[in-house]
Amino acid sequence: MENHFKPSPEQEQIIYGEEKIKKVIACAGSGKTSILTASIVNILKEEKCLPSEILALTFTKNAALNMQTRISKELSFSTDSEVIDIFTFNSFGNQIIRENSYKFGLSKNFSLLNEAKSWQIIFEIFRNSDFEYLKAGKNIAQFTKRILESIWNIKNNLVSFDNLKTYLIEYESVLSGYKSKGLQKEELNKISYFNEICRMYAEYEKLKLLKNCIDYADQIFMPYRLFNESVAVKEKYQQKYKFIFVDEFQDTNNSQAYLLAKIFDPKRNSIMIVGDDDQGIYGFRGASVENIMDMGYFESELVSDSKPYFLTINFRSGEKIINFANNVISNNKERNIKIIKPEFSGKESEIFFFKTIDMREEAIIICEMIKKLREKGIMLKDIAILCRKKKFGEITRVLNKENIRYEFIGNKNLFYENEILFLLSWLKLINNIYDEESLMYLLKSSKYKISDRDIYFLKNRIEYGAETGENHKKEKSVPVRYLLGSLKKSDDNRFITKDTNEKIKSFLSEFEYYIKKSEQYNLSGIINLIFHHSGLYDEIKSGFGQNLKKKIKNIESLIRIASDFEQDNSNADFEAFVIYLKELARTEVEDPDSIEISGDNAVKIMSIHAAKGLEFKIVFLPMLRNKDYKPKLNSKAEFELPAYLRTDSRVWSEKASYSSQAKFRKKLKDKAREEERRIFYVAASRAEKLLVMSHPLFESYQGNPDQKSDELLEFVREGINDVCVPGNANHNTAAIKIKDDMEVLNNDSSKESINTLNKFSGLIADMQFKERQGRSGFQKPPVKKRSTALPDFTDKENAARLENKLLKDIFRLKGEGKKEVLKKDLSGQKETDVKTRFFTLTEILSYLTCPKLYELRYLINIPENTSRENTDFGTKIHKLIADMSMQLFKAGNAGEKGFTNNEYEILLKKYDQEILSIKNEKLRKTLSNLTESNVLDFREVSQIFLEELFYWKVGNVYIRCQIDRADIMNDGSLRIYDYKSGSQKSSSGDFYYKNQIKFYLIAASEYFKIPVEKAEGLILYLGSGDIDKSRLDLPAAHAQKAKIPRTVSDIILQNFDKKLVKDCTRCSYSSICK
């Protein structure tokens, strides 16, 4: 782990320990992934097993990719890590099912249902069945969700159909041992409901099998069942993996823990589980911190032989944040006792707390704080806003108003984008004209802009009571029953202005139009209609840039969801679709596999669950109200799995021994409350430098003195403790200061806001927000100052000779080391093994140009002398061309609203005029060459794809390709464009580029399923305006494609000596390669 990972003594014990079972409790920010990575690397370096004999399980794809990248970096040779099986739990289960699909009655191409599609199957079964006890009531979505959760609970508790049948026969005998009659009655009441749930479960499984589908819970339940039924299959996997590593073990549910125990055999395997009981936050999904604390799924003698390790140094956060988090989590009783410490005493961090009247004022202050942070040089992407509940409306409204970029993180982020909220609000209102939440969203939207003041007078009728002094009548506000009715009578409302009345009439006219059309159009049709008729299409079309591309993509996604829904449900109706969309948007289950975070410079907004495993310099925690962190117990106990069948927590097996319902319910509430505290702890521990917490007294303050305020979250008070740092007066003073800020606001909220922002400015004035030093385990190498004893080289030739000698020595030494690794890799692989490999097309092209170039660039990693200015220019020009192309394509090919030929020519001339005004000569010349080349004429183009990224499979090799632009023409042919920012190249460059465009032609024709003979490739040299065109017939395409496996084979066999080019003068490595 040269120059990268430097383990501490306690970390070394973990890495080099020989125990069969290692349990590592790693606190927040302790670098647990580094420990896992280092342990795997150590095993491979000591040759204890082959890479293919390692299994590593994580909870997210990002974590899996991160682990593989780190292993590759530490080994300095990527192919070793490619064959390590690094999976998420679900993808591992999915792999087992796919490898044994015939045993389950599935074909190899089975599909995975998302939660909403599982919900839809349940919905259809219920709608077409007659049940005596199961009744949906008014909220069909909530009812159907509960049924699905019941079925998943059966699977997560590994209950077979035989177990279910046995219990339904013998339940009286089981329940006779209950001490509490109330609890016994509770379990008895479940039987009738549970009987019908089991009927629905059986039908659900039958329909899934007919559709060749599995669901989310099947990915663990089915492999567990297979291992139970087939010893031979279980032993196959036990023999396959000698070392097993598991990350985030506190988030495992019952079935995941028991599946892991099935593939662990102490005679064959060693296992290392890493997690933190203080960060177990997925109880609502069936996860249990008991899994990492008790390890009851292993045999008791194995648990007694295991060794627990603790990592308690937090390398992420500063001392104040760590002390705050410690104070909060120490109030939990069900945890391993540990005190988390900072990397070093006095490490800088700050905590800021403020109160506001309501959530709107809170959002305004947060945005002002973000502006102040930006003025201090903080990047927006280093700021996160984390919420317990997904109530982002006020915050995003103010961020939009202030033009502060933000990005939603989480698999439900589509449903919080403004354009999607707009369309969904229309759909929900068409389905239910009394949906006031959707109605108010539309009235306040950018199209109608009806103010809060007007809405107040629409929602409240002003009446006059008895006369007061001087003949004045006392006014009183009386809420109206339906807002829609008030809109229709707005002309009679003296408080509504003429301008607002005109907007209301426009809204009602549009609303009636959509109601009529909803009876005629299909689902995707009505979305398309609203998109165009509402003006949303024109609003987006008039814009420009990357953000607008995203908006179009979001709307396409919604239309695709509607189309998929119609295809999956032949009898789909509007009501069912709206219910389906509500469930998709509302579901609390964040699928870890689908959570992605971009590198865009934008404030990251997400739920606390979506933030798990992430870290940010500054974290805002708004809406800290007790009611949002209040544990919710299942109010419908009849939908619960009978306690006798539950193995997901000790509390269920102990239910019979409780003497009263009250005591049992208190135990459940205490457990749920501890989870809420862990959720808050996870949120606070995401912050590195600054943690900002806020508490709005009201959701929306109406000025009513009788309006009851929301209580501050009690966990905040637990964290701000005077004994935060014993004996440290500064910290105690800070704690007392924050406590003072928790007092009730003054009457004048505006003055309080100014005061808050002034305090905040003072706090951050002296803070250092520089990049933090590398953690222990990933320390940055120290920069060595030049010694004054060294000669000052003024002789450039002398200096160059010395540099070349040094590089050649590095080349020789590193090359020998690389070849040894290659030999080891090849010696451990049988000739018959088929190994999937991944390359970029650039790697393949580099080798074809010159094998020695490939070796120096990719194997030995010697840096090249590249011009940063040219690279930046190339990146910028590609982005600019992509934006121009999209706008011109929309203009030239937009159906009825498209431009005429004359208008299109005018638009091109407009571009030419704008280009002439550009001061940068290089940019002006480049764009002029672009427009003069006619490649921006899209009138014969039906579809375009810009910066399209895809993987091209050639045999057992995957080639990563990214095409600048692909056009599908009206006649069905394909045209590929590749932009080069320079002028026409020399013969060596020409060889590289022509190979590149040929590969693109073949790969793109396969990707878009268009015959290669109907494809044309164009290389546009932007520096000169020259265009090279290429076509391939079928034999030429086969010959070109055959170069891929030959090249990969040559790379594996280390054929790096030959050079294919005669002129090496342009090569960065020419001086060291001679």
The residues that bridge with 55 in the sheet, in sequence order, are 85, 244
The rounded distance, in Å, linking the Cα atoms of 180 and 699 is: 41
Last residue of a domain, one of 559, 586, 613: 586
The reply to whether 902 falls in a domain is yes
561 with 419, same domain?
yes
Q: Contact, 533 vs 510, CB < 8 A? A: yes
364 with 253, same domain?
no
The reply to whether 156 falls in a domain is yes
Six-digit token string for 838: 């991944």
Average per-residue pLDDT for the chain: 80
946 with 1052, same domain?
yes
Q: Contact, 849 vs 988, CB < 8 A? A: yes
Six-digit token string for 1015: 């494809």
Q: Which of 635-649, 876-890, 914-928 has the highest mean pLDDT?
A: 635-649
Read off the pLDDT band of 952 (50, 70, 90). confident
Residue 144 belongs to domain spanning:
111-211
Give the 3-state secondary structure of 304-350: HHCEEEEECEECCCCHHHHHHHHHHHCCCCCCCCCCCEECCCCCCCE
Q: Is the pLDDT of residue 191 over 80?
A: yes
Six-digit token string for 326: 């410690």
Angle, CA of 1027, 1032 and 1034, to the nearest 5°: 170
565 with 713, same domain?
no
Q: Contact, 931 vs 908, CB < 8 A? A: yes
The reply to whether 454 falls in a domain is yes
The reply to whether 775 falls in a domain is no
The rounded distance, in Å, linking the Cα atoms of 518 and 529 is: 10
Read off the pLDDT band of 178 (50, 70, 90). very high
Read off the pLDDT band of 755 (50, 70, 90). confident
626 with 643, same domain?
yes
Six-digit token string for 955: 């045999």
Last residue of a domain, one of 765, 783, 817: 765
Look at residue 894 in the predicted model and tell me its pLDDT. Answer: 42
What are the pLDDT digits (tens) for 993-1020? 889 999 999 999 988 889 999 999 999 9
Torsion sign, CA atoms 644, 650, 652, 658: positive
Total-model pTM:
0.64
The structural domain count of the chain equals 6
563 with 664, same domain?
no
Q: Which of 16-20, 290-294, 412-416, 1012-1016 has the highest mean pLDDT?
A: 1012-1016
Decide the pairing of beta strands 270-275 and 243-246.
parallel
Q: Is the pLDDT of residue 834 over 90?
A: no
Give mean pLDDT, residues 173-177.
94
492 with 578, same domain?
yes
The rounded distance, in Å, linking the Cα atoms of 58 and 90 is: 9
CA distance to 364, 785, 840, per residue, from 789 (Å)? 59, 11, 45
CATH code at position 238: 3.40.50.300
Look at residue 563 in the predicted model and tell me its pLDDT. Answer: 77
The rounded distance, in Å, linking the Cα atoms of 615 and 799 is: 44
140 with 19, same domain?
no
Last residue of a domain, one of 527, 554, 586: 586
Q: Which residues contact 933 (CB under 8 A, 6 or more apart)?
A: 1020, 1025, 1027
CA distance to 119, 159, 524, 772, per residue, from 115 (Å)? 6, 20, 21, 40
Read off the pLDDT band of 281 (50, 70, 90). very high
Q: Contact, 289 vs 277, CB < 8 A? A: yes
Measuring CA to CA, which residue among 52, 82, 79 is closest to residue 859? 79
52 with 96, same domain?
yes
The reply to whether 228 falls in a domain is no
Q: Please state which of the ranges 787-791, 829-833, 1065-1069 shows the lowest mean pLDDT.
A: 787-791
Backbone angles phi, psi at 932, to 5 degrees: -70, -15
- What is the number of other CB atoms lying within 10 angstroms of the CB of residue 833? 9
Q: Is the pLDDT of residue 240 over 50?
A: yes
423 with 559, same domain?
yes
Look at residue 619 in the predicted model and tell me its pLDDT. Answer: 98
Measuring CA to CA, which residue among 544, 640, 710, 863 is closest to residue 154? 640
The reply to whether 787 falls in a domain is no
Look at residue 812 in the predicted model and tell me its pLDDT. Answer: 46
Q: Please state which of the ranges 77-81, 649-653, 838-842 shows the lowest mean pLDDT.
A: 77-81
Give mean pLDDT, residues 36-42.
92
The rounded distance, in Å, linking the Cα atoms of 128 and 199 is: 13
- What is the number of other CB atoms lying within 10 angstroms of the CB of residue 633? 10
- Greatest Cα pair distance, the chain, in angstroms, is 106
The reply to whether 445 falls in a domain is yes
The reply to whether 429 falls in a domain is yes
462 with 555, same domain?
yes
Look at residue 283 in the predicted model and tell me its pLDDT. Answer: 87
Query: Which amino acid, residue 527?
Result: I
CA distance to 283, 434, 672, 673, per residue, from 633 (Å)? 12, 29, 8, 10
CATH code at position 468: 1.10.486.10
291 with 387, same domain?
no
Look at residue 832 in the predicted model and tell me its pLDDT. Answer: 33
- Cα torsion for 1055, 1061, 1064, 1067, to the nearest 10°? -70
The residues that bridge with 274 in the sheet, in sequence order, are 24
Read off the pLDDT band of 810 (50, 70, 90). very low
CATH code at position 607: 3.40.50
Q: Please state which of the ranges 460-469, 537-546, 925-934, 1031-1040 shows the lowest mean pLDDT.
A: 460-469
Long-range residue pairs from 1049-1058, CB within 8 A, at least 24 positions apart, any chain? 1050/847, 1050/851, 1051/847, 1051/854, 1052/822, 1052/826, 1054/819, 1054/822, 1055/851, 1056/851, 1056/852, 1056/854, 1056/855, 1056/859, 1057/851, 1057/852, 1058/851, 1058/852
Q: Please state which of the ranges 300-304, 414-418, 589-593 shows the lowest mean pLDDT.
A: 589-593
Q: Which residues contact 198 (CB under 8 A, 6 or more apart)?
A: 164, 168
Look at residue 863 in the predicted model and tell me its pLDDT. Answer: 60
Q: Contact, 128 vs 204, CB < 8 A? A: no
